[in-house]
Amino acid sequence: MNELDKLKDIKHPVEISDYSFMILIVTIVVVLGTLTAGIYYLVKHLKEKKKQNKRAYYYAKIKKLNFLDSKHTAYTISKYGKFLVEDENQKAILEKINQNLEVYKYTNIPPSLSDESKKLINMFMEVVNV
């Protein structure tokens, strides 16, 4: 029994301040925030690049038009021209082109493009910035 008397009582657990859990949570939040921001800007950049590529594609489609096929020219400019317009001046030119090209759209055998229509189309292509 003598040995049991020598044992000291068990004391209550002492609280030790440990910040490792908070450090883990803050690290996770910072990493996730950084990843989210990086992904957002990457997607934004890729969309802008894709938009520029589409504009270049539409510009090339209109640029390589054959003015001898007036019906195809009229429909192609009406279809792709609206995607190239950026300001009011370009919009006004495109509306004037579309008014001139209405004659060529709805006929079975359209006449060849007038010189005025060709000049307007060339002027529109010079004004558009791609």
Task: Kindly report whether the global pTM for this prediction surpasses the value 0.85.
Answer: no
Residue 9 is assigned to a structural domain of this protein: no
Any domain includes 69: yes
How far CA 82 is from CA of 10, 89, 116, in Å, comes to 84, 13, 20
Average pLDDT, the chain: 88
pLDDT at 29 over 90: yes
Q: Which amino acid is at 85?
A: V
| Structural domain for 107, as ranges | 51-130
Instruction: Indicate the pLDDT class of residue 28, thresholds 50, 70 and 90.
Output: very high
pLDDT at position 18? 84
8 Å CB contact between 97 and 124: yes
Helix (H, G, I), strand (E, B) or coil at 125: helix
Q: Tell me: the pLDDT tens digits for 71-126?
A: 999 999 999 999 999 899 999 999 999 999 998 888 888 888 889 999 999 999 99
Whether 28 is covered by a domain: the verdict is no
Q: Give the residue from 73, 86, 76 showing the smallest Cα distance to 117.
A: 73
- Report which residue type is found at 90: Q
Nearest to 94 by CA among 115, 70, 121, 67: 121
**Domain total for the chain?**
1
